[in-house]
Amino acid sequence: MTLMQKFLGAAATLALSAGAAFAEPALIYDLGGKFDKSFNEAAFNGAQKWADETGSTFREIELQSEAQREQALRRFAEAGANPVVTTGFAIASILGEVAKDYPDTKFVNIDGWLPEIPANVKLIGFQEHQGSYLVGMMAAMASKSGTVGFIGGMDIPLIRHFGCGYAQGAKAVNPDIKIIANMTGTTPTAWNDPVKGSELAKAQISQGADVIYAAAGGTGVGVLQTAADEDILSIGVDSNQNHLHSGKVLTSMLKRVDVAVYNSMKSGASLETGGSTVLGLAEDGVGVAMDEHNAALVSDAMKAAVEDARAKIISGDLEVVAYYTNDSCPALDF
Amino acid sequence: MDKMPKWADAVLVPLFSLILAALLSALVILAIGEDPIAAFKLMVNGALMRSAGWGYTLYYATNFIFTGLAVSVAFHARLFNIGGEGQAMLGGLGVAMACLYIPWPHWALALLGSATLAALFGAAWALIPAYLQAKRGSHVVITTIMFNYIAFSLLGYMLVNVLRPPGAGDPASEKFHASTHLPTFQDMFATPDNPLFRSAPANVSFFLALAACVFVYILIWRTRLGYEIRHFGHSQTAALYAGTNGTRITVIAMLISGALAGLMAVNTTQGEAERLILNSTEGAGFIGIAVALMGRNHPFGVLLAALLFGFLYQGGAELALWTTIPVQLIMVIQALVILFTGALDNMVRMPLEKLFLALRKDTPSKNGETL
């Protein structure tokens, strides 16, 4: 058999398998892993919910290296997966190029940004600063010491975006409030370092912080633990983390990645693409978690203030400045 | 007298180590209820039976050749450079500087420029640990690994505050200009009716890696400097007594090592991502240690070991794509190979040596009789 024939054969097999493949959706997790108790896990939960409801299956991959981003996109698209849902901003620019080669496949990216969005790509973003603003208000109202803390994962724009909204909310309640902001680390391990999170929380407590907001993926588990041990309040992120330490977690800033993934898979091949969707307070894409675990911590005044601010943000009367607008934050220096 | 012939040391020991690692990996896969033979077939099919698979295998191998050579050059002077990661990051910064700020007319010139800057930046990052080792006796193992963290912080600062295009959320530089894009294997070897290496990241820097292998071979075994490096490594006191300048050898060996590690960035940053990203080295600096160990610090051995690790990475990706084997277990399989070929080397070597000694006793050679 000549080389030529071999390749034709391989191409034919590929075409056959692509045609025969059931168009199941695929989910590509960002580096950092599927079970991070936060961002990626929320995506998995959304996909699992879809799978349970429809009795279908989905393909998934946890990436191990940067080069696998493009590889996973292409191989899933070639295998007939539709739609291909990806999480994390880091894959967006590659997605923008790869998507053009597979016009029949729909791609979704959560958190990403592209200057031009191809016709078969949908970007889903979240107004994290709006949700963070609300939890910042609650933190300032719950604080007795006049000092609140913020612990981020890596020092990247996205995390500054969280911290900036938080600081604006806190300052709106108490203009003299002191905000201590720390980032966990400079390597990707910063997203999964609960020990370091715990140490940073202790350091912030010794500086007087009595409410700490953690936006640091798996690292936040350590922050919440230490806050509960030291008898101060903490604020969870992405998923509802109130139940982790009932009565010690003031609230959680919800980012409904699960809903975004669920809806994308539910629409399947008829998903509307070619643009970006930004989910904010108005769309319930972000919000504050209220449940039985934090009912005793949230006063009526807090509820009223949050509800008021929420309505004003939705109506446009109150504008929370996004860090991305000028790459700087009016309420906090990083 | 050697306990066993050289070919046995170079071929049999790694081979038995690999077989042991494969057996143990098979048990691991069995334990989670998957079929190890099917998994192995999938790895081989995905990594070696398709040209695109080779494109990924060779791409990873290119990284490991550079970092493996970096570790082995330093090791010939008995310096354990585990800062390849940081040196490669700085190399990436060098590549980004060359590609972003200089308008290159052609990719070949861009390659020359970026390779030079990558090597310079990598070498500069190795200079301080080298100086501290030579003049102050601060152990190079400690300082190089600490420099990895400094490099990460520096890269993070540069990407978030300096190189990131305004408004972008991703801590990465702008895309390099098209004239700096290196030809991939697809560009070089694919024809319209024979689409080889489709969209695989392997690129012309693989040949740069091969050239580096030749360079290291000539340097270590065919030049006076190489002789001095090996001499210094085998016996520092003897080398110093013979008039070798220890400071000079330590610094030069580390500079070459850092430059080789820095060159890795040409492959990842200019060849694949075509922009500088935060996670561009992704552990290749550390894999280089295993590659050098397995390759017995010889360029040809490093090449073979790098190909094996490239296969493991690409095969691992195939497993992650098409099976339900979790990524953590794929890392376990990769780690088992490193463990057996690197750390547990003597476990295989000692029984083999005994075997060869026993065989020799049965058939005494002529040398043995005359002695």
Q: What is the CATH number of the domain that holds A225?
A: 3.40.50.2300
Residue at A15 is within a domain:
no
Whether residues A219 and A175 share a domain: the answer is yes
Output the six-digit token pair for A309: 């601010």
Whether residues A234 and A304 share a domain: the answer is yes
Residue at A147 is within a domain:
yes
Taking an 8 Å cut-off on Cβ atoms, the answer to whether B277 and A66 are in contact is: yes
Whether residues A109 and A63 share a domain: the answer is yes
d(Cα B123, Cα B261) in Å, to the nearest integer? 8
User: What distance in Å separates residue B245's CA from the closest CA in chain A?
Assistant: 38
Q: Which residue of B has its CA nearest to A188?
A: B279
Residue at A288 is within a domain:
no
Residue at A291 is within a domain:
no
Taking an 8 Å cut-off on Cβ atoms, the answer to whether B321 and A72 are in contact is: yes
- Tell me if chain A has a CB within 8 Å of the CB of B153: yes
Residue at A10 is within a domain:
no
> What range does the domain containing A190 cover?
128-254+299-326
Output the six-digit token pair for B351: 């029984």
- Tell me if chain A has a CB within 8 Å of the CB of B330: yes
d(Cα B256, Cα A205) in Å, to the nearest integer? 47
d(Cα A63, Cα B319) in Å, to the nearest integer? 11
Give the single-character DSSP code of B297: T
- Tell me if chain A has a CB within 8 Å of the CB of B147: no
Whether residues A163 and A305 share a domain: the answer is yes
How many residue contacts between A and B have a Cβ separation below 8 Å? Answer: 99
Residue at A44 is within a domain:
yes
- List the A286-288 sheet strands across, edge first: A178-185, A147-154, A211-215, A233-238, A249-255, A286-288
Q: Which residue of A has its CA nearest to B279?
A: A66
Residue at A11 is within a domain:
no
Whether residues A199 and A311 share a domain: the answer is yes
pLDDT (tens, 9 = 90+) of chain B, 371 residues, equals 467 788 888 788 888 888 999 999 999 999 988 899 999 999 999 899 888 899 999 999 999 999 999 999 999 999 999 999 999 999 999 999 999 999 999 999 999 999 999 999 999 999 999 999 999 999 999 999 999 999 998 998 899 889 988 777 778 899 999 999 999 998 888 888 888 888 889 999 999 999 999 999 999 999 999 999 999 999 999 999 999 999 999 999 999 999 999 999 999 999 998 999 988 888 899 999 989 988 889 999 999 999 999 999 999 999 988 888 888 888 888 888 888 877 777 888 888 888 888 888 776 555 544 44
Whether residues A119 and A153 share a domain: the answer is no
- Tell me if chain A has a CB within 8 Å of the CB of B206: no
User: What distance in Å separates residue B160's CA from the closest CA in chain A?
Assistant: 6
Residue at A90 is within a domain:
yes
User: What distance in Å separates residue B13's CA from the closest CA in chain A?
Assistant: 29
- Tell me if chain A has a CB within 8 Å of the CB of B191: no
pTM: 0.85
Whether residues A186 and A312 share a domain: the answer is yes
Taking an 8 Å cut-off on Cβ atoms, the answer to whether B168 and A157 are in contact is: yes
Taking an 8 Å cut-off on Cβ atoms, the answer to whether B194 and A3 are in contact is: yes
Instruction: Count up the domains in chain A and report the number.
Output: 2
B360-to-A69, A202, A210, B368 alpha-carbon distances in Å: 54, 66, 76, 10
Whether residues A266 and A241 share a domain: the answer is no
Whether residues A305 and A161 share a domain: the answer is yes
Whether residues A122 and A165 share a domain: the answer is no
Taking an 8 Å cut-off on Cβ atoms, the answer to whether A64 and B195 are in contact is: no
- Tell me if chain B has a CB within 8 Å of the CB of A89: yes
Whether residues A35 and A183 share a domain: the answer is no
User: What distance in Å separates residue A105's CA from the closest CA in chain B?
Assistant: 17
- What interface predicted TM-score (ipTM) does this complex get? 0.80
d(Cα A134, Cα A165) in Å, to the nearest integer? 8
d(Cα B265, Cα B268) in Å, to the nearest integer? 5
Taking an 8 Å cut-off on Cβ atoms, the answer to whether A113 and B172 are in contact is: no
Whether residues A36 and A84 share a domain: the answer is yes
**A contact test, residue of B198, B203, B321, B322 with most A CBs within 10 A:** B321
